[in-house]
Amino acid sequence: MEDDTYASASYQVSGRRGTPDPGTYAVVRKLDMGYSKRDPSLRLPWFVGFTMGRTTDIGFHGIPLRPNGEPIQSDAQLGEPLSAGCIRQNQANAKALYDWAPVGTTVVVTP
């Protein structure tokens, strides 16, 4: 959403039901290429972290990539609850969000 409350983009994502908790957060860090703490071989392109989970931060990122660069899910699977807690997007949308949201940007999670 922009300041005028009009949606600037709307698209399917994958996450985990109930994670993170509904609430208001803020972007705390950005990494052009993060990694999964659960499986460090998986890369998380365009990571935008906004809250803490049990062991690491939760955020938006592109579909995780295997060491050979292959995504672990298809774009067609976006919309299914397939992640451990982060919000997965296709790579183009993840890059656009990464470029658009500076540290401090408000993130509102709704039930």
**pLDDT tens-digit series, residues 29-84:** 999 999 998 899 999 999 999 999 888 899 999 999 999 999 999 999 999 999 88
Peptide bond into 71 cis (omega under 30): no
The DSSP bridge partners found for residue 106 are 26
Which has the closest alpha carbon to 73: 6, 25, 13, 8? 13
Q: Which residue type does 100 have?
A: W
The model's pTM:
0.89
Domain positions in the chain: 23-106
pLDDT tens digits, residue range 83-99?
A: 888 999 999 999 999 99
Instruction: Give the separation between CA 2 and CA 26, rounded to whole angstroms.
Output: 15
Q: Quote the distance between the C-alpha of residue 4 and its chain's center.
A: 23
Higher-pLDDT residue of 58 and 16 is: 58
